[in-house]
């Protein structure tokens, strides 16, 4: 995050929480949009790749699997030792103070985790548009919000633990 002087500013736990929920709430907004599109514009399915039963079965199984492994994945990606050893792309880590470096590394790791968690939702959204399945799109949106709540990291704790690891290492 940049302040008005162009200097790097460490994100706060509150800012990271907002950044956590924004991308994970997008599938619900897309589901509402598809629902409105199907209801009012009579959106036709461009291509039906699978039968409706197969689409629902595969989608629900994938969502359940990610929901089951979500916390383990969070614990793996957001472990303080892993965060501290993960390099930041395009930055000189030695020039930053430890607090800013820890916060930036937590933010970087958060976006990695978001990408992994959002992968299934994005695939389901794409399939919903191909099949014009508004109900599944809405269900996917609710699932993604539940996933966001279940897997949300404690950002304040992650920053403190990462900072402690960086101090020990440095």
At 114-143, the pLDDT tens digits run 999 999 999 999 999 999 999 999 999 999
Q: Report the distance separating Cα 59 and Cα 134, nearest Å.
A: 13
pLDDT at site 27: 95
Two tokens at 92? 């000189």
In terms of Cβ atoms closer than 10 Å to its own Cβ (0-12, 13-18, 19+), residue 65 is exposed
Q: What's the whole-number average pLDDT of the chain?
A: 90
Domain residue ranges in the chain: 13-169
At 51-72, the pLDDT tens digits run 999 999 999 999 999 999 999 9
Number of Cβ within a 10 Å radius of residue 48:
13
The DSSP annotation for 24-69 comes to: HHHHHHHHHHHHHHHHHS-PPPS---S-HHHHHHHHHHHHHHHHHH
At 78-90, the pLDDT tens digits run 999 999 999 988 7
Residue 9 reports pLDDT greater than 90: no
- Lowest-pLDDT choice from 3-12, 95-104, 118-127: 3-12
Two tokens at 24? 């994970």
């Amino acid at each position: 995050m940049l302040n008005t002087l162009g200097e790097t500013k460490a994100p706060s736990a509150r800012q990271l929480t907002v950044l956590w929920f924004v991308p994970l709430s997008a599938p619900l907004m897309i589901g509402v949009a598809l629902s409105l599109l199907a209801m009012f514009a009579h959106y036709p399915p461009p291509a039906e790749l699978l039968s409706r039963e197969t689409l629902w079965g595969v989608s629900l199984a994938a969502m359940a699997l990610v929901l089951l492994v979500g916390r383990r994945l969070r614990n793996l990606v957001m472990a303080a030792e892993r965060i501290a050893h993960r390099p930041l792309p395009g930055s000189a880590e030695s020039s930053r103070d430890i607090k800013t470096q820890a916060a930036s590394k937590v933010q970087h790791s958060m976006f990695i985790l978001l990408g992994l968690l959002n992968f299934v939702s994005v695939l389901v959204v794409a399939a919903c548009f191909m099949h014009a399945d508004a109900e599944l799109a809405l269900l996917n949106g609710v699932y993604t919000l539940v996933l966001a709540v279940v897997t949300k990291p404690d950002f304040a704790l992650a920053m403190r633990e990462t900072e402690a690891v960086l101090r020990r290492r440095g």
